[in-house]
Structure 1
Amino acid sequence: MVLNLDKATVDSFGDEWSRFDQRDMPHEEAKRHFDAYFSVFPWDKINESSEGFDMGCGTGRWARFVAPRVGRLHCIDPSSALAVARQALKLQHNVSFHQASVSNNCITPGSQDFGYSLGVLHHVPDTALAIKSCVSLLKPGAPLLLYLYYAFDNRPKWFRFFWKSSNIVRLLICSLPPNLKRFSTDIIAAFVYFPLARLAAFCAALKIKVDLFPLSAYAHCSFYTMRTDSRDRFGTPLEKRFTRSQITSMCASAGLVNLKFLDSVPFWCVVGYKSLIQ
């Protein structure tokens, strides 16, 4: 039996989502994030009779926006965060919950009209296999939306050096006990994320181009989001990053065609369709 999960990472996310259950995120901000990630998703192919899956649903933060638009949504997650999702989505009667891994779950292969997995598959041991597992659940022609951490392949060398330096800090923090991990990532949010993000917002207001400012993506985010993402970024044991070409290759090998990448933040977000030729 192939589970394709890292237990330390699963436990880490269980701790993270129990602490940051997303209830304190402003609705307008949550909707803005959702619209950004799903901007390449083919909503015209989905209707109230469609059945699909949220692979690695976490707190259900994406499912809360998707469920009202479809017939049935399967929320799949191996961590204790599934209990948070159950509570958050308790009024959505078309949602099913499965505590399972990407490669071992009870969804019937070839049965789903759509699927998505955002910010999850770069945290599993074999990302290419995980994409194939997701594709296997889809009907031919059905779309799959993915978000995988980018390898800064569209950024200058100095930007990549900035990330490599921060990754040394991540390797230290992710091995800490939960309480120390939370404290450390909150400090980073307060003294790194917040000032850099607000500097980017100030410069943007002055019509200064901030695309290459570190953490400029958080210019208009709440401190709650910064704390959440700091915990995600620095507290997660297993993290991988991929170039656009690597993602293209993995998707093609999994049987996805007609790929469409989002050419703006968040990188890399891509949608593909399960090939009609099996």
Structure 2
Amino acid sequence: MNKLTAVAMVSAAVVLAACGKGEEAKPQEQAAAPAPVVATSIVVGLDDNFPPMGFRDEKNELVGFDIDMAREAAKRLGIEVEFKPIDWSAKEAELNSKRVDVLWNGLTITEERKKNIGFTDPYMENHQIIIVAAASPIQGKADLAGKTVGAQEGSSAVDAIKKEADVAAGFKELKTFGDNITALMDLGTGRLDAVVVDEVVGRYYVAKRADEFRVLEDHFGTEDYGVGVRKDDTELLTKINDALNGMKQDGSAGKIATQWFGADIIK
């Protein structure tokens, strides 16, 4: 090997080493962040014995006003919807444990519930009405003193009654039931003197048995219905709100209401 060749080899080695060091010093590019997961379906928790909001028909299929509203909203969002009957008295636990994604079944918006649930804008106004037997002497809330009154356990009817503590204190008993239908059945058999229930449910039921029951003019307050989601699920909340607002504006929500209530009672 002559001197010129040796010098050339050393120079090449130095150049290669310098290149290697430069490459090692170059900061590595950060990996691209994974794309957000887009929800393709939602699970709606409901009480499947809550006509006309959500219940089973003679074919044991889930039907109702809120069922139709949820299906229409899901269609607009381009997602699938699954309906899951739950213990309504444990609805917040079902939602926050992620066994369901949405509570959509005549859910009353209250300040207490807002602590644990995110709500859409109201889509319907409701009252907690009092139903008695057609022949009952009861004419108003004052006449409930000494009487046995029924309501659904965990419902806003119970909350509304408790807000009027002076009236509730006069009851012989406030008896709670797993669902409104059972309470109304007990009213029909005389085991209860009155039932406090959501207006949409009560009037639907009374209309079918107008000769047996009547609705008092007195009630336990006015409230709004909304769709409930987990408080941290803000994206889903916004999407459902947008879908509901669109349904109100183009008349779709009113059409669904008219099919179930005979009138557009959308708020």
* Length-normalised TM-score, structure 1: 0.31
Which structure carries more helix by proportion? Answer: 1
Q: Which has the larger radius of gyration?
A: 2
**Structure with the higher fraction of residues in strand conformation:** 2
TM-score w.r.t. the length of structure 2 is: 0.32
